[in-house]
Amino acid sequence: MVFQGILYHDEFSTLEANTAIFNILDTMKSVQQEADADLYIHALQVYSRLVHMQWHVMSHESLEVVVNLMFDHYNSNNLVSKQAGSVIARCLDKGSPTMYSVFHALQCLEYFGHHGYRPWLAKIIEGYLFSFGHHSKSHLEVSVIQEHIEYLHTSGILFNVCSILAVGDPYHLCTCKKRIKKNILSLVQIQQNASAWGECHRRLQQLLEEDGMDFFHQQTYVNGIK
């Protein structure tokens, strides 16, 4: 009821009100994972609205909570992980330095590679890559962007990112193919001469030769990469 009341409140008019909401969300790390998924979903809906309004003041602690909620519910049938992913994607797309820091520190890209892909991951990757191709619109320092670009272009990470974009979102087939092409081209243009591309091409080619497109279809439903 508390979260529902916050969500449908017309205005977050005071700094005190916003701070109170942040504090509520921060305490969610002490809530047991077995708690009703609706509680998490309502909290994340509130958080998403706050991100839209004040993404630049989101706390490091609360963003850690959001990422860990995504991890904890990653293999569940509820919508918690998807809702958390939506918040993460929005923060990355806005170029939040705090979100980039948390995303890297909690090794999200490695996690995706080890635990299987989800259709909504493409949005997260799109947000993550946005600052790299739009330096003038990014709120990240140039040195930070360069660090992330170097990290992105390590062989395992680049393969995970490329594969996630290649999977796309099979639930939106009408736009999926065009979006996949656009995303892959955007990724290539970031640092097309990076040595990691050779290993990435080899692994993708091997997948196509051994499994055809079944791999990319199965990754939206099956956990892990062999």
Shared-domain flag, residues 99 and 153: no
Shared-domain flag, residues 89 and 2: yes
Shared-domain flag, residues 132 and 153: yes
Q: Answer yes or no: is 112 within a domain.
A: no
Poorest-pLDDT segment among 13-17, 31-35, 64-68 = 13-17
Alpha helices in 15-59 (DSSP H): 15-26, 37-54
Q: Which two three-digit tokens encode residue 213?
A: 């497109």
Shared-domain flag, residues 184 and 138: yes
**pLDDT score recorded for residue 154:** 92
Query: In angstroms, rounded to a whole number, what is the distance separating the alpha carbons of residues 219 and 115?
Result: 10
User: Any idea what DSSP says for residue 13?
Assistant: -
The model's pTM is 0.82
**pLDDT tens-digit readout, 33-59:** 555 788 788 888 888 887 877 777 788
**pLDDT score recorded for residue 26:** 62
Q: Answer yes or no: is 208 within a domain.
A: yes
Shared-domain flag, residues 121 and 102: no
Classified as helix, coil or strand, 47 is: helix
**pLDDT score recorded for residue 212:** 57
Shared-domain flag, residues 96 and 75: yes
Calculate mean pLDDT across residues 184-209.
89
**pLDDT score recorded for residue 104:** 96
Domain extent, residue 77, equals 1-106
Which has the higher per-residue pLDDT, 20 or 81?
A: 81
Q: Answer yes or no: is 63 within a domain.
A: yes
Residue 107 predicted with pLDDT over 80: yes
Shared-domain flag, residues 85 and 126: no
Q: How big is the CA angle at 70 (ends 114 and 197), to the nearest 5 degrees?
A: 40
Contact 43, 24 (CB under 8 A): yes
Shared-domain flag, residues 144 and 177: yes
Contact 198, 156 (CB under 8 A): no
Q: Answer yes or no: is 111 within a domain.
A: no
Mean pLDDT for all residues in the chain: 80
**pLDDT score recorded for residue 67:** 95
Shared-domain flag, residues 98 and 175: no
Which has the higher per-residue pLDDT, 152 or 134?
A: 152
Contact 148, 129 (CB under 8 A): no
Contact 167, 117 (CB under 8 A): yes
Contact 164, 129 (CB under 8 A): no
Q: Answer yes or no: is 166 within a domain.
A: yes
Q: Which two three-digit tokens encode residue 39?
A: 């509680």
Please report, in angstroms and rounded to a whole number, the separation of the first and last CA atoms in the chain.
44
Shared-domain flag, residues 65 and 9: yes
Q: Which long-range contacts (CB under 8 A, 24 or more apart) does 126-131 make?
A: 126/89, 126/93, 126/183, 127/88, 127/89, 127/90, 127/91, 127/92, 127/93, 128/92, 128/100, 128/103, 128/161, 129/161, 129/183, 129/186, 129/187, 129/190, 130/92, 130/93, 130/95, 131/92, 131/95, 131/100
Q: Answer yes or no: is 16 within a domain.
A: yes
Residue 116 predicted with pLDDT over 60: yes
Q: How many structural domains compose the chain?
A: 2
Shared-domain flag, residues 50 and 139: no
